[in-house]
Amino acid sequence: MTTAHGAMILAPFTAEQVVHLNGYQLSSEMHPFTCPTEHPDGHRVLVATLHGWVCPDCAYDQSWAHIFMADWPHGPSNCVSALREARRG
């Protein structure tokens, strides 16, 4: 599947893709996917799950990701620990 933004993947994602997608979201190098709704506490960064993206603060979801995001070059262990940090926050 291809759009003007390049190749895409669609949910459901694999467990490995979820790790990479969330690693991408938590990296400071790229702008993450965010919920279109402005939440007062600022938690708008979408969280990747096996079933697609979800907003931590509302019912918004999204089913696609850029294919490069699913292979985001960070170690899986780094991604998992970063995800735990994010969920704690």
Residue ranges in contact with Zn ion by CB under 5 A? 35, 37, 55, 57-58, 60
As a residue count, the chain comes to: 89
CB closer to Zn ion out of 27 and 62:
62
CB of 64 to Zn ion, least distance (A): 17
CB of 4 to Zn ion, least distance (A): 25
User: Hey, CA dihedral for 24, 75, 88, 14, is it positive or negative?
Assistant: positive
Angle between helices 15-26 and 76-88 (to 10 degrees): 60
CB of 41 to Zn ion, least distance (A): 11
Between CA 4 and CA 11 the distance in angstroms is 19
Tell me the two tokens of residue 89: 């926050």
CB closer to Zn ion out of 43 and 74:
43
CB closer to Zn ion out of 37 and 81:
37
